[in-house]
Structure 1
Amino acid sequence: MRKLPDLASELKQTHKLDGSPEFNDSHELTNSPELIMSKETETPISADERHALHMSGNRSAKHDSAHLHVTGKALYIDDRPEMANQLHAGFGLSTEAHAEIISINFDEVWNTPGVVAVITAEDIPGHKDIGPVFPGDMLLAEGRVDYIGQPIFAVAATSHKAAKRAARKAVIEYRALEAILGIDQAMEQNSFVRPDHTMKKGDARQAISHADHQLSGQMSNGGQEHFYLEGQIASVIPQEDGQLHVYTSSQHPSEVQKLVAEVIGVPLSKVVADVRRMGGGFGGKETQAAAPACIAALLAVKTGRPVKFRVDRQQDMVSTGKRHPFRHRYNVGFDQEGMLEGVDIELAGDAGHSPDLTDAIVDRAMFHSDNAYYLNNATVIGHRCRTNTASNTAFRGFGGPQGMLVIERIMDDIARSTGLDPLEVRKRNLYGITERNTTHYHQRVEHNVLHDVIGKLEESSDYWQRREAISTFNQQSPVLKKGLALTPVKFGISFTAKHLNQAGALVHVYTDGSIQINHGGTEMGQGLYTKVAQIVANEFGVSLELVQVTSTRTDKVPNTSPTAASSGSDLNGKAAQDACQKIRDRLIEFAVEHYGVSDQEVSFHDNEVHLGERQMPFEGFIQAAYLNRISLSSSGFYSTPEIHYDRETASGRPFYYFACGASVSEVTVDTLTGEYKVDRVDILHDVGHSLNPAIDQGQIEGGFIQGMGWMTTEELVWDDSGRLLSNNPATYKIPTIEDIPPVFNVELFQQANPKHTIYHSKAVGEPPFMLGMSVWCAIRDAVSSLADYQVNPQIDVPATPERVLTAVTSIKNAVL
């Protein structure tokens, strides 16, 4: 496995492929226009953009909080000093999946030492439903419960233990109702949270029926627990005049602000949501962080005292939603060369008991059901199933991984049906450059780098030599079987809800030359603060040490979008740049008037301001500007251009651009036990012009391992009553350091993004997650070798050893 410290030496090597940049010893792009102009771009990148690319220089700056993380000094909400008279919250949870509440007796709750307040839905003065988009998420259940683990009441006590102990003592009488506990049951009973949606291109049914070959199949994927290191938590401090300061571990501070205000019944201006950092989020804190904040706020208002609500790990896992489980069905038609002629795909996502973000998540699964492949004739329908489980929610990839699974399975199944290698089938069906480049939702795939990425990885990973060696090994090894798979990723970047594609920032330049930046993005460990600080430093030509990024606060930058959809750097980086450029324009105008130079003679770099033949320290120039009453503060704003989608016609441009990548995974499967190990992984991932190669590589490595976990070990298990059994770290297994492949090669495909993103970079948060699909495909490849690659193994996700062994047994029985 490559270590991050090796990155500096590796970047000194030349990386040049169809316009990729070259690196010199200072990690900066050469200032050559042809190296940073896409081969498909009609006009070259401007001189100013070339200068910005040159100045930003692919610097691998360390994470701004790295020294705080490793020394234990990073401040999280639970680390904040307790305030005088602070209370702690706990909640009582439903023990029934679907039932009417007949009565609740709180006598023993009140008799518990330390209890100060108890609230139910009746005590909520404002909105009781905190559904983020559509109604259905009751803050506290009223009259009926819809899943095991649903909050019914909340307690405030003098300690966390007292609140937790008291919440268990309520006596609740239920009358059980029929519960729907799976996708199949929901489909049979027409139980949905939102209407179906269909995307259509050409005539899939006719194309399939006229194709030389047809295939059909069904599979499912399970959910995935977010397993953030810091659980759901909020701390609310009541202030004068009915104001509330909310410290929240949320990816969406403005939504927390809005919902707290609506639940309490006050204007949004009375509530400040404050996020310095999260100990992980992965989508699980986009909507689900609101409930603890709202409950803490209700108790704070009721008692007039500060209230902290820290949800224990087991309660967190039981009461909050996961990645959506899906059931997939497909029919495809293809020719003997493995070329797709028609595709009919049905996706059914398990929403849980309420809509939450399911509509957009199933939409994105539908958008990504093509992954990297051209679908000439396609029909894709998506169902939003309602079940009596916790409401499933955003998770890294936001439905994209579930959609991609289907087409990757189809590629493998076609290969085994035609006798072709799966890589050949994939390459033949890739989107084209100038033709065969329109998606099933009628967006043109521009600036397609898939062929370059796959071609380079195919060569650097020695795919064909290894394929031959693996075939020989499998023929000689009766028990252990090896598998190999190369899978691509094409992931659309933008929120599919158009209004969310906006961001704001606030920049202050102080008289000592130091700079403070505040923006709407949140830091959950992914390095967003570091990247934005680098952008600000670059815009003023100063050292990174002079830039301080402060907590995301709704009283500094209002109406923020969630930090999600891989758009954190794209949106907030551009907003920060806008604010910097406004200040810089004022400073240039001042320099022209005060120092008698032309605006072309003014430049900012190396901690100096260059004024023709004269240089001044940045600090001295800022002091001169201040004394001449030049404003040194500005807000900034950015909205993503060009994007739109019409649900009526199921067509448009929902994504500003696509981020691509590819991975090769090699596995060894023990056919006697179903156990397996990942031997080697090679990744080449498209990052545009990377803002920070070290951070991007860390995101790629972490995303792949998390994706691999979803594909293999992370299994959610419920009993027949709807109770989550895998509700703690002992029964739910995420990958550990022992699961990292012993050979783990990660390379960045750096070719400047032709779209006008910040310094022509590309998003890197979510797309690498889907690279983990190559592990699942490699496992199926190994099992298929038992039948000389003539049979398609039925292995649902996650591919646990039990499922692998079942597939092995099935194939052995069929062969015999």
Structure 2
Amino acid sequence: MNKHTPHLKTETIVGGVHSSPRHDSAHKHVSGTAVYIDDITEPTGTLHAGLGLSTVAHGILKSVDLTAVRAAPGVVTVLTHEDVPGVNDISPSYMHDDPVLAAGKVEFHGQPIFCVIAETREQARRAARLAKIEYEELPADIDIWDLDVSTHRQVVTPLTLKRGDAAAALASAPRRVTGRMRLGGQDHFYLEGQISLAVPGEDDEVAVYCSTQGPSETQHMVAHALGVPSNAVTIEVRRMGGGFGGKETQANQCAAIAAIAAKKLKRAVKVRLDRDEDMVATGKRHDFAIDYDVGFDDEGRILGIDYTFALRAGFSADLSGPVGDRALFHCDNAYFFPHVHAKSAPLYTNTVSNTAFRGFGGPQGMVGAERVIDEVSFAVGKDPLEIRKLNFYDAMGVDGERNLTPYHQKVEDCIIQRIVAELEESADYAGRRKAIAEFNAKSRIVKRGIALTPVKFGISFTKTESNQAGALVHVYSDGSVHMNHGGTEMGQGLHLKVAQVVAEEFQIDLDRVKITATTTAKVPNTSPTAASSGADLNGMAAQNAARQIKDRLIAFAAESHQVPREKVVFLPNRVRIGDVEMPFDDLIKKAYMARVQLSAAGFYKTPKIHWDRKAGRGHAFYYYAYGAACSEVSIDTLTGEYVVERTDILHDTGRSLNRAIDIGQIEGGFIQGMGWLTTEELWWDGKGRLRTHAPSTYKIPLASDRPKIFNVALTDWSEAYEPTIHRSKAVGEPPLPLGLAVLHALSDAVASVADHKICPRLDAPATPERVLMAIERLKAMQKE
């Protein structure tokens, strides 16, 4: 018996599902011993890259003189688009509009034109500044606010969703409001920026250690750029220092450059962007201009709505098409619209190409929905929470209609009414609203506000083929288990959750399951770790692999002990075979000696998913995750500064695989959403230069910005409507739009200066400056 063999009286396994073991790398994160790409011991002779970036937003490259660059100390070579041996394109779409290195023209300020490869990183970066480039500058479109959606160039075909007759409903509605909202973008601001280390192999082979959320896509893009088949490229990632969607497609450029240089020079090459370069040269969350026209009755019941969601795509398609799609999928949030017409407009601009960001357009759609709720509530003079509850989806349906989304999928698992009712009571919403009104009546300078906002978030990739996953499970002859799957770990605890699933299947302690780096050499054709689907997909695939092995073990044990299969039962760290019990290790040894296969490749594909984009109809999501947040704020009406006094959250994770991990995700998601909607402001000047390109000019939330009182709870009664992995629900993206409660609490506080008679129309991010301007605008309107 080895050190892992438990006493046979043990009745519970340590670390199975529905338990809360700590993150497998938590102690390494806090002690600094976790190995990221930049911590990997560099092979002897490793070279380093420095990017040469465009200094204009739009222009023809008249001449590119790199003589001084090549002559600089330590420089080994300089790469341009002419050095790309395959295809100079890393576009994840069919548009082929995203070059590895610019060729002939540049389309945003900061676009990579060339890459210096030198003995040290400092030498490469210094040399990159010595280039002499002449441009023929062209007109540049930077902001989307004043662009004409009907005529301006769009990077991909937009989407339109419609159900019923929105135009007729608006024309006949007793009341009607139109408006426009500006919604800012967001930088990913992960702790680890974009980085790749490429090590050349023999023949056409190359191994790339890359901070990527999509190893298979990076593999294909690198192969594409090298002009080799995908089997020549291996991508490996043990962990990322944050991803949030920014490493779904944006990792491909650094990986491709590193691989091209490594193969050309036959030496390892590392590309690591610093914070400024990362913020300038890589994509972000899309900012939006949201136009809305809503018709409603005197009670505040929405009758019809027309939306246009214009988004700043940047210079190439990237993922702007599906991001715009998902914004439309969530333009209803938790509300039923009897008649709806909504369209996206992914607009071309001469800015960096925007990309995936936690929520993938869904939060932007929800912002539009909640602005509409605010407009209606002020128009009819009611508490916004009343209007929210009045317009909620009804899972049971009324005449089969109040559960149908704008994309014609039925909401069959709606629990938002119960979540909101429970949070309303536990957070004492009514009592606190009354107390806030009394406080505001007595306080001349400081005003308070409160809001309770819901979340309904669809779970699945809308790209059908992405809803699949693979896994590989080995049981070694000593009873230890090796687990590998196609998902990537970026701090969210995915590896831990999948290991818990495997431990549960074999009924063994979690420390017996080895979690290994994600690599395309073990699990091929992986989907990106995105769309909140990491645990859903990879957990199911790993479970499938474990069950294959378990089935073989059951068959072996039943045959060797001459008992029926149902008499073979896996118990904590042991197996009962008829009337005999033996340690798990002993069964494995015997199975190995009997030549039972102890390895399996698992697979899973999400059922029920189908989507017809052209028709705007389908079953786009496998299920929905729900939540609600109640936030209270205080604002200084003289400066616009504010404090989040308290936040209460009740969130639905189904039967949570790991409550501790899920609560951490909810807390982090809420703070990230709050930051996006309040302090994180991206600003480009008229020349297309990003001026908020460093921590000194871009303000993410600090520990001191968190709510003074922060209560987070999980629903202890819900489980997934569909047979997900152990009936759990996704928790990656759904918590982020809980931050809407802070934006609307600020709006409520601003509205108090005009006695809640005027909708503040507070745009986001609601910086102190924007809050102050809204206060002054309401004061001026009140005087008119």
Q: State how 1:72-87 maps to structure 2 within 5 Å.
A: 72-87=32-47
**Residue aligned with 2:156, SS:** strand
Paired residue for 1:387, among 335, 349, 353?
A: 349
| Structure-1 residue corresponding to 2:334 | 372
Tell me if structure 2 keeps the 8 A contact 1:186–1:387: no
Q: State how 1:691-706 maps to structure 2 within 5 Å.
A: 691-706=657-672
Letter in 2 for 1:143: G
Paired residue for 2:388, among 426, 435, 446?
A: 426
Paired residue for 2:75, among 115, 126, 130?
A: 115
| Structure-2 residue corresponding to 1:340 | 302
Moved more, 407-416 or 575-584: 407-416
| Structure-2 residue corresponding to 1:172 | 133
> 1:687-735 deviations in whole A, cap 9, x for unaligned?
0000000000000000000000001000011111000000000000100
Paired residue for 1:755, among 713, 722, 727?
A: 722
Distance 1:83 1:56 in 2: 39
What's the CA shift for 1:56?
4.6
| Structure-2 residue corresponding to 1:319 | 281
**Residue aligned with 1:324, SS:** coil
| Structure-2 residue corresponding to 1:563 | 529
Tell me if structure 1 keeps the 8 A contact 2:15–2:510: no
Tell me if structure 2 keeps the 8 A contact 1:186–1:386: no
What's the CA shift for 1:814?
1.5
- For the pair 1:256 / 2:218, whether they are aligned, the reply is yes
Moved more, 121-130 or 178-187: 178-187
Distance 2:774 2:61 in 1: 44
- For the pair 1:785 / 2:752, whether they are aligned, the reply is yes
Tell me if structure 1 keeps the 8 A contact 2:371–2:761: no
**Residue aligned with 2:130, SS:** coil
Distance 1:584 1:409 in 2: 52
| Structure-1 residue corresponding to 2:4 | none
| Structure-2 residue corresponding to 1:15 | none
Letter in 1 for 2:167: R
| Structure-2 residue corresponding to 1:145 | 106
Paired residue for 2:118, among 142, 157, 173?
A: 157
| Structure-2 residue corresponding to 1:285 | 247
What's the CA shift for 1:242?
2.1
TM-score w.r.t. length of structure 1? 0.93
Tell me if structure 2 keeps the 8 A contact 1:353–1:391: yes
- For the pair 1:351 / 2:313, whether they are aligned, the reply is yes
- For the pair 1:805 / 2:772, whether they are aligned, the reply is yes
Aligned length: 767
| Structure-2 residue corresponding to 1:601 | 567
What's the CA shift for 1:190?
1.3
Paired residue for 2:464, among 473, 476, 498?
A: 498
> How has the CA–CA distance of structure 1 residues 719 and 85 changed in structure 2, closer, same or farther, with 3 Å as cutoff?
same
**Residue aligned with 1:365, SS:** helix
Tell me if structure 2 keeps the 8 A contact 1:186–1:192: no
Distance 1:638 1:616 in 2: 32
Paired residue for 1:590, among 537, 556, 560?
A: 556
Distance 1:709 1:390 in 2: 21
What's the CA shift for 1:184?
3.4
- For the pair 1:413 / 2:375, whether they are aligned, the reply is yes
Paired residue for 1:62, among 22, 37, 40?
A: 22
> 1:151-187 deviations in whole A, cap 9, x for unaligned?
0011110001011111111110100001111113543
What's the CA shift for 1:612?
1.8
| Structure-2 residue corresponding to 1:305 | 267
What's the CA shift for 1:241?
2.1
Paired residue for 1:543, among 509, 517, 524?
A: 509
Letter in 2 for 1:147: F
Distance 2:116 2:68 in 1: 12
Distance 2:287 2:777 in 1: 24
> 1:459-506 deviations in whole A, cap 9, x for unaligned?
000000011111111111111111010000000000010000000000
What's the CA shift for 1:58?
1.8
What's the CA shift for 1:71?
1.6
Paired residue for 1:795, among 748, 753, 762?
A: 762
**Residue aligned with 1:88, SS:** strand
Distance 2:18 2:148 in 1: 50
Tell me if structure 1 keeps the 8 A contact 2:78–2:116: yes
Letter in 2 for 1:156: I
- For the pair 1:637 / 2:603, whether they are aligned, the reply is yes
Q: State how 1:639-654 maps to structure 2 within 5 Å.
A: 639-654=605-620
> How has the CA–CA distance of structure 1 residues 27 and 432 changed in structure 2, closer, same or farther, with 3 Å as cutoff?
farther
Distance 1:165 1:616 in 2: 65
Distance 1:615 1:569 in 2: 33
Distance 1:794 1:110 in 2: 54
Paired residue for 1:554, among 517, 520, 545?
A: 520
Distance 1:460 1:98 in 2: 54
**Residue aligned with 2:498, SS:** helix
What's the CA shift for 1:606?
1.2
| Structure-2 residue corresponding to 1:764 | 731
Letter in 1 for 2:80: T
Tell me if structure 2 keeps the 8 A contact 1:197–1:381: yes
Q: State how 1:431-450 maps to structure 2 within 5 Å.
A: 431-435=393-397, 436-450=402-416
Q: State how 1:41-56 maps to structure 2 within 5 Å.
A: 56=16
What's the CA shift for 1:27?
14
**Residue aligned with 2:773, SS:** helix
Tell me if structure 2 keeps the 8 A contact 1:93–1:148: yes
- For the pair 1:88 / 2:48, whether they are aligned, the reply is yes
Q: State how 1:444-463 maps to structure 2 within 5 Å.
A: 444-463=410-429
| Structure-1 residue corresponding to 2:156 | 194
Tell me if structure 1 keeps the 8 A contact 2:16–2:507: no
- For the pair 1:71 / 2:37, whether they are aligned, the reply is no
Distance 1:76 1:807 in 2: 44
Distance 2:522 2:266 in 1: 26
Tell me if structure 1 keeps the 8 A contact 2:17–2:500: no
Distance 1:658 1:623 in 2: 44
**Residue aligned with 2:501, SS:** helix
**Residue aligned with 2:735, SS:** helix
Letter in 1 for 2:109: I
What's the CA shift for 1:441?
0.6
- For the pair 1:486 / 2:452, whether they are aligned, the reply is yes
Moved more, 457-466 or 787-796: 787-796
Tell me if structure 1 keeps the 8 A contact 2:208–2:234: yes
Distance 2:101 2:460 in 1: 33
What's the CA shift for 1:57?
5.1
Identity rate, percent: 54
| Structure-2 residue corresponding to 1:97 | 57
Tell me if structure 1 keeps the 8 A contact 2:190–2:241: yes
What's the CA shift for 1:599?
1.0
Paired residue for 1:656, among 609, 622, 642?
A: 622
- For the pair 1:719 / 2:685, whether they are aligned, the reply is yes
What's the CA shift for 1:530?
0.4
Tell me if structure 2 keeps the 8 A contact 1:27–1:58: no
| Structure-2 residue corresponding to 1:573 | 539
**Residue aligned with 2:298, SS:** coil
| Structure-2 residue corresponding to 1:224 | 186
Moved more, 67-76 or 391-400: 67-76
Moved more, 379-388 or 410-419: 410-419
**Residue aligned with 2:359, SS:** coil
| Structure-1 residue corresponding to 2:165 | 203
